[in-house]
């Protein structure tokens, strides 16, 4: 049962990340997940200073607010000052992280306060963290509900907004000419990214989310240029990583998140080598 | 789409079932402890009656601990889970709080009162979690754990647990007196303990030491240049002979302080390594709580004398 819950949560998060990650890679914003993982620090500190508690909820609210602010700032620097996207991401998250550190040393040096202690969850705790109702019914792990709710929302968003996201991702100028709100779709996507990453950080930890956001979509991008296929393939690679990673972790008694990320990287390597061989016509697939 | 949602919801409904807390009278077999200090205390309390598993090995920083696949198995199979509390275990502590409904959970610091805690901030609930450096306070926590474990055990084991607890706390009383005698070799002006991060607050309060750390409790915030120069001035003014490194924090930061003092023509040396958040390797004398405290006190007294 534990194996089932961990793989289920891993897969749910993997699919959410794979869907959003595909768009991020196509928009050359793959590192945005990593940026958010650092940039949430001032949000956590401010939430703590205001609420005086290190409970999950205020931390989550503070982190989500900063996640959205990060994506807004990245876009602002990129658009208004013609900065390259990667430079814009770099400036934004280092600056916000630095502000967070200064806030800690100014106001909370005697409190153990950082993302690792108060925000990042750990996928190994999924089967332990049960949602038990007042009347004593066990509804299964809390994170399963959160992760499946998140995935449903994302599927709805991509299903309803597929055309808008598609056209603004591939041909911004054309979209503008058609009168489609480029900024609207960009911020909608970025809002989805910040919420997904912050909620997933709380459920399964940061490294896993950053890896799943980039590696499975990058693997899918090696073999297809069709967006629909890419979304599907990256979800499949994400699920395979979750399953393989869990069993690798139980084999070596190691960190589950680390093992899932490693398997994702290994899958990328395999696909890359196969593609190279195929292009040189050594084998035919 | 709709059918998928319905299938998903029914799948969840199937898994939901009534939770039953483990029967209070069922014999306890395995106990899981988070830190090495707790594991050592509990092993002394229960003897060979129960299996005691410690999650955090030597050299592991409890603030940054990440569970492995095997730890998850230990936690699910455990009858009792004992942890330090006061946010020492970070997010893991929150998970344990929720486990309360299914397992017996003992929070070591719950046996103490508000007055026992040190809180250097204006925030409520931001107490310093490193209570084990005050041996008397730790004794109180151990007594509490022993009493709780006795409550959960059957009559035959109960007596033994109560006896073991008494024996072990007597050892700790003795240890506390030893510490007091040893530190009495130092004048009150010599009792200044400088370490890399602020973990020795309880030690300072219990044995009248002025405690200074280069960093706060959180190890994320880097120390500033002003922190270093303030500390250097403080050392030079008070003619302090030694500063101390910790087993779980890099000693590089304190090197800067030592060099800063040299430039002001004051010789201060690194007095040795103290065990702070973890104990030494199992099998060595420092691998037990008593051995660890003895090592720390000996190092501090020899360094400052």
pLDDT tens for B52-90 read: 999 988 877 787 787 888 888 888 889 999 999 888 888
Task: Note the pLDDT of residue A55.
Answer: 80
CATH number at residue A125: 1.10.3470.10
pLDDT at B25 over 60: no
Q: Is residue A86 part of a domain?
A: yes
- Flag if A124 and B69 touch (Cβ within 8 Å): yes
Average pLDDT of the segment spanning B261-281? 86
What is the rounded CA–CA span in Å between residue A187 and residue A40? 18
Asked if residue B169 has pLDDT above 80, the reply is: yes
Average pLDDT of chain A? 89
Q: Provide the shortest C-alpha distance from residue A144 to chain B (in Å).
A: 9
Query: Residue A56: is it exposed, middle or buried by C-beta count within 10 angstroms (0-12/13-18/19+)?
Result: middle
Total number of domains constituting chain A:
1
Q: Flag whether pLDDT at B264 surpasses 90.
A: no
Contacts of residue A52, Cβ cutoff 8 Å, sequence gap at least 6: B123, B124, B125
In a domain, A261, yes or no: no
Asked whether B207 and B173 are in contact (CB, 8 A), the reply is no
Which residue do the tokens 């303030």 mark? Answer: B230
ipTM of the complex: 0.73
The residue among B1, B100, B123, B225 with the most chain A CBs within 10 A of its CB, best to mutate, is: B123
What confidence score (pLDDT) does residue B119 get? 81
SS3 of residue B38 by DSSP = helix
Whether residue B92 lies within 8 A of chain A, CB to CB, comes out as: yes
Establish if A235 belongs to a structural domain.
no
CA distance A258 to B92: 18
> Would you say residue A174 lies in a domain?
yes
Q: Is B12 in the A-facing interface, judged by CB distances under 8 Å? A: yes
Residues with Cβ within 8 Å of residue A260, at least 6 apart in sequence: A10, A14, A123, A208, A211, A212, A241, A242, A244, A245, A246, A249
Query: Does residue A17 carry a pLDDT above 90?
Result: yes
Tell me if A104 and B218 make a contact (CB, 8 A cut-off).
yes
DSSP collapsed to 3 states, A47-100: HHHHHCCCCHHHHHHHHHHHHHHHHHHHHHHHHHCCCCHHHHHHHHHHHHHHHH
pLDDT tens for each residue of A211-229: 999 999 999 999 998 999 9
Domains of chain B: 26-180 (3.40.50.1980), 182-304 (3.40.50.1980)
Averaged pLDDT for residues A75-89: 89
Q: Has residue A178 got a pLDDT over 90?
A: no
Domain that holds residue A183: 2-214
Cβ within 8 Å of B, A 250-269? 250, 253-257
Residues 6+ apart with CB under 8 A from B80: B28, B30, B31, B32, B103, B104, B105, B106, B149, B152
- pTM, whole model, 2 decimals? 0.81
Within-domain flag for A58? yes
| Averaged pLDDT, A33-56 | 88
Q: What's the pLDDT score for residue B305?
A: 83
Which of the 8 DSSP states describes residue A109?
Answer: T
In a domain, A238, yes or no: no
Mean pLDDT of B170-178: 95
In a domain, A230, yes or no: no
């Amino acid at each position: 049962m534990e194996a089932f819950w961990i793989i289920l949560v891993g897969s749910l998060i993997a699919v959410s990340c794979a869907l959003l990650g595909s768009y991020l890679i196509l928009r050359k914003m793959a590192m945005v997940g990593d940026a958010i993982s650092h940039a949430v620090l001032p949000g956590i500190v401010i939430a703590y200073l205001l609420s005086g508690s290190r409970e999950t909820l205020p931390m989550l609210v503070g982190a989500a607010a900063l996640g959205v602010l990060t994506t807004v700032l990245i876009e602002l620097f990129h658009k208004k000052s013609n900065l390259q996207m990667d430079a814009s991401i770099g400036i934004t998250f280092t600056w916000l992280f630095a502000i967070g550190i200064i806030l800690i040393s100014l106001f909370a040096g005697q409190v153990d306060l950082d993302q690792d202690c108060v925000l990042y969850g750990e996928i190994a705790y999924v089967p332990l963290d049960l949602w038990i109702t007042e009347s004593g019914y066990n509804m299964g792990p809390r994170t399963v509900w959160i992760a499946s709710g998140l995935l449903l929302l994302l599927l709805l968003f991509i299903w309803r907004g597929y055309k808008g996201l598609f056209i603004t991702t591939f041909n911004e100028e054309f979209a503008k000419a058609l009168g489609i709100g480029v900024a609207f779709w960009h911020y909608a996507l970025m809002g989805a990214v910040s919420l997904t990453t912050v909620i997933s950080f709380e459920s399964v930890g940061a490294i896993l989310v950053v890896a799943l956001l980039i590696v499975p979509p990058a693997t899918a991008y090696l073999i297809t240029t069709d967006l629909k296929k890419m979304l599907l393939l990256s979800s499949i690679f994400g699920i395979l990583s979750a399953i393989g990673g869990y069993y690798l972790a139980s084999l070596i008694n190691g960190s589950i998140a680390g093992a899932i990320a490693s398997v994702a990287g290994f899958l990328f390597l395999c696909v890359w080598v196969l593609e190279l061989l195929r292009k040189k016509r050594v084998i035919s697939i | 789409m709709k059918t998928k949602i319905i299938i998903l919801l029914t799948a969840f409904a199937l898994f939901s079932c009534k939770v039953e807390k483990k029967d209070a009278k069922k014999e306890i077999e395995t106990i899981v402890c988070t830190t090495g200090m707790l594991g050592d205390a509990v092993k002394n309390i229960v003897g060979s009656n129960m299996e005691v598993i410690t999650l955090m090995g030597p050299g592991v920083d409890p603030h940054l601990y990440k569970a492995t696949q095997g730890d998850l198995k230990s936690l699910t199979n455990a009858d009792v889970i004992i942890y330090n509390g006061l946010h020492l275990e970070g997010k893991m502590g929150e998970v344990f709080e929720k486990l309360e409904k299914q397992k017996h959970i003992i929070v070591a610091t719950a046996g103490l009162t508000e007055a026992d805690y040190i809180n250097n901030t204006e925030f409520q609930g931001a107490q310093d979690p490193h209570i084990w450096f005050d041996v008397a306070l730790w004794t109180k926590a151990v007594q509490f754990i022993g009493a709780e474990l006795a409550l959960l055990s059957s009559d035959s084991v109960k007596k033994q647990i109560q006896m073991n607890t008494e024996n072990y706390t007597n050892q700790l009383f003795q240890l506390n007196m030893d510490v007091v005698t040893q530190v009495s070799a130092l004048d009150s002006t010599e009792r200044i303990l400088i370490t890399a991060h602020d973990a020795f607050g309880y030690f300072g309060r219990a044995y009248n030491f002025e405690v200074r750390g280069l960093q706060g409790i959180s190890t994320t915030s880097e120390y500033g240049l002003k922190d270093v120069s303030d500390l250097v001035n403080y050392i030079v003014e008070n003619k302090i002979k030694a500063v101390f490194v910790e087993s779980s924090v890099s000693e590089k930061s304190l090197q800067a302080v030592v060099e800063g003092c040299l430039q002001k023509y004051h010789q201060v040396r690194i007095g040795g390594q103290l065990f702070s958040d973890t104990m030494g390797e199992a099998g060595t004398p420092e691998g037990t709580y008593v051995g660890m405290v003895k090592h720390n006190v000996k190092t501090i007294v020899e360094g400052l004398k």
